[in-house]
Structure 1
Amino acid sequence: MIFENLPTTPTSEELLDKAFSRAARAGRAKQGVEAQESMLQTSSNILGDNLHNVVTAWPDFESVDPFYYELADAVLQREFDDNRGVDALRQHLSEISWASNKTHDLGREYIGKLPWGDADAARKIRKQGFARMGSVMDQIEEDLDAVGRARDALKGLPEIDPHDPTVVVAGYPNVGKSSFANAVSSAKIETAEYPFTTKGVQVGHFEADRVRWQIVDTPGLLDRPADERNGIEDQAVSALAHAADVILFFLDASGTCGYPLDSQRALRAEVADQFDDVPLVTVCNKADLSTGVEADCYMSVEDGEGVQETLDAAVEAVGYEPELPHEQ
């Protein structure tokens, strides 16, 4: 996942402590004006290079897959309480990039001001340079804090590979979605938290025709009507539309899920509208209790009846063909 290896973002105070302590050691290795020059060079290099590394650790959002871009944008809107989302992060990174260049420039500027032959005057110039660098770091204190918070929030995103064929399951709570995902996933299902839901997103994997597929259950997003979701959750649903290759929508005709069938049908219509470019397969689960609804597949996860057929229907609806190596 593109955000999981982002390094911890240092604070302004941490960078200043690191730069000035290293500069002091560098200064002790020399004497007179050369010591002041070494201190200025060391501090400006450490600040400039570390700030540059903060910026370049982030991916170019222009090349990020639309799934992760929209999901990141939704997460950052909530984290920053700013509807600019990714654009707000870009602005913070731009300020840090400016500071990186500025601290390098200040090092060169104050080294150029050193009066050779006058160590006391050189020490005053060096202190002035340090003060200017400290002022620059004060200006970006909030930017570094924001980038650090963004990093922490995005590291928690569920690991969904938008390049793998993906089945997304939807439907009201208690209709059997998670039980189905667990039943068809050969590996132990993984649970991760969306930063804007209280329930874990489940991601499992299975193989069909030697192709690795993902199956994703998103409680808190696709298990309730759109008018009960906030704008950020709606954007998360929009992000899923980029990753989904097929939607399995579960209906419970028996009513034991606690939701009327009419409400379930209405949610199905909403999901079909939101994922209008994605095939949707309607599944009547708990068919051992009732089949009183029109559906593409009828199954009972409880009894194991129709489970494989439902999974096969999802795969067939996609018609996925893996890319083959170029023939030489």
Structure 2
Amino acid sequence: MSQPFEDLPTTPTSEELVDKAFSRAARAGRAKSGHDAPLSMLQTASNIASDNLENVVSDWPDFDDLDPFYEELADAVIASNTTDDDAPDIGGIDAVRQHLSEINWASRKTSEIRDEYQGRIATGDIDTARKLRKQAFARIADVVEEVEGDLAAVGAARDDLKTLPDIRPDEPTIVVAGYPNVGKSTFVNAVTNARNETASYPFTTTEIRVGHFDDGHIRYQIVDTPGLLDRAPEERNDVEAQAASAVEHLADAVLVLVDASEECGYPLDLQLALRDDIEARFDVPVLTVCNKADRSRDVEADLYMSVTEDENVQGVLDAAVEAVDYEPELPYDGQ
């Protein structure tokens, strides 16, 4: 399962939709004569407005079918948009549902206007037909403009969600946590067999790092989440706290790296307090790993390693794989 929002197309504005519908309608009308001209114009304008509005709705994934990780992360990202003075106040996922519902209403309404006016245009004299076509156009424009704010809100949500990092919740995942400078990114770089990917959460300039490695023909995902799991919970704002909560759905095991030498710049007691919070929040195995063990081992830990000295790095990775205890689903043979 890939990032569910990355292929969302650009959301048109109400003005763009009206201009597109009426300009296409004008071309369609020039190709016809008599009553066929206003009828063709009405049909074209209505179809373009209705279809484009419907596409805005249908292009979005069903929120009820989202993996809990992406559902909660998307809710946090959308909510964070309200902190930007220049962005529409779109709330969270429930607000986007409502905006999409209003856009869907507008799609149906433009079709109803077409159905209402078609018979009247076809049976009246040509002057009346042209007046009725103009009335229909005015009503279609009013309907599209009525959802101007809904389109803007959905467009803003789309722009933010497209930039979410591509994380695969269906892959066995190891989350690496711990205070800054304890060696998390160095560890991720060391154990992934390719240059790891980076992407930024839309609500922070901090990059998330994602790497992959294979073990026993199984592809594992290893994730470093700076800005979320590298500081005390009370230091996170509401959006960061919710995003950290989303990571709980993602992790199959957590490695908490600590630096007993304290060269990272954080006292050991703070590092262990962060570890304790992670243990309390995550309902998966949490392993305490003393990194920089060549400098200090003065902490009780599950594992000791030094990435820079290549000491027990593979052992830590093997322990993480064992903690995940992933068993791939086998095809059902019907027996």
TM-score by length of 2: 0.95
**Partner SS state of residue 202, structure 1:** strand
Match of 1:327, SS state, is coil
Partner of 1:100: 107
Q: Distance in 2 between matches of 1:299 and 1:236?
A: 29
1:116 to 111, 123, 139: 123
Contact 2:174 2:324 (C-alpha < 8 Å) held by counterparts:
no
Corresponding residue of 2:59: 57
Taking the aligned partners of 1:115 and 1:252, their CA distance within structure 2 comes to 81
Query: What is the TM-score normalised by the length of structure 1?
Result: 0.97
Q: Which residue of 301, 306, 309 corresponds with 2:312? A: 306
Compute the displacement of 1:84 (Å): 4.5
- Residues 1:327 and 2:329 are matched in the alignment: no
Deviation readout 1:51-76 (Å, 9 max, x if unpaired): 10110001111111111100100001
Residue 293 of structure 2: aligned partner: 287
AA matched with 1:158 = P
- Greater Cα shift, 54-63 or 317-326: 317-326
Runs of 4+ in 1 over 3 A off after TM superposition: 80-84
Residue pair 2:81, 2:90 contacting (<8 A) in 1 also:
no
Say if 1:92 and 1:26 are closer, same or farther in 2 by CA, change over 3 A.
same
Distance of 2:135 and 2:214 partners within structure 1 = 65
- Residue in structure 1 matched with residue 8 of structure 2 by the alignment: 6
Q: Give 2:241's match in structure 1, choosing from 228, 234, 237.
A: 234
Letter in 1 for 2:79: Q
Could you tell me which amino acid in structure 2 is paired with residue 188 of structure 1? R
Q: How far apart are the structure 1 equivalents of 2:150 and 2:143? A: 12
Contact 2:177 2:257 in 1 (8 A): yes
Instruction: Encode CA deviations 1:237-267: one digit per residue, 9 max, x unaligned.
Output: 1111111000000110001000000111111
- Quote the Cα distance in structure 2 between the aligned partners of 1:176 and 1:301: 8
Tell me if structure 2 keeps the 8 A contact 1:115–1:121: no
> What is the root-mean-square deviation of aligned Cα atoms in Å?
1.2
Distance 2:169 2:138 in 1: 48
Q: CA deviation at 1:2?
A: 1.0
The equivalent of 2:31 in structure 1 is: 29
Give the match for residue 127 of structure 1: 134
Structure 2 equivalent of residue 161 of structure 1: 168
Residues 90, 153 of structure 2: 8 Å contact kept: no
More displaced stretch, 80-89 vs 164-173:
80-89
1:198 equivalenced with 2:205 (yes/no): yes
CA contact (8 A) 1:222 1:237 kept: yes
Percent sequence identity over matched residues? Answer: 63
C-alpha displacement of 1:112? 2.6
Corresponding letter in the other structure for 2:296: S
Unaligned runs of 5+ in 2: 84-88
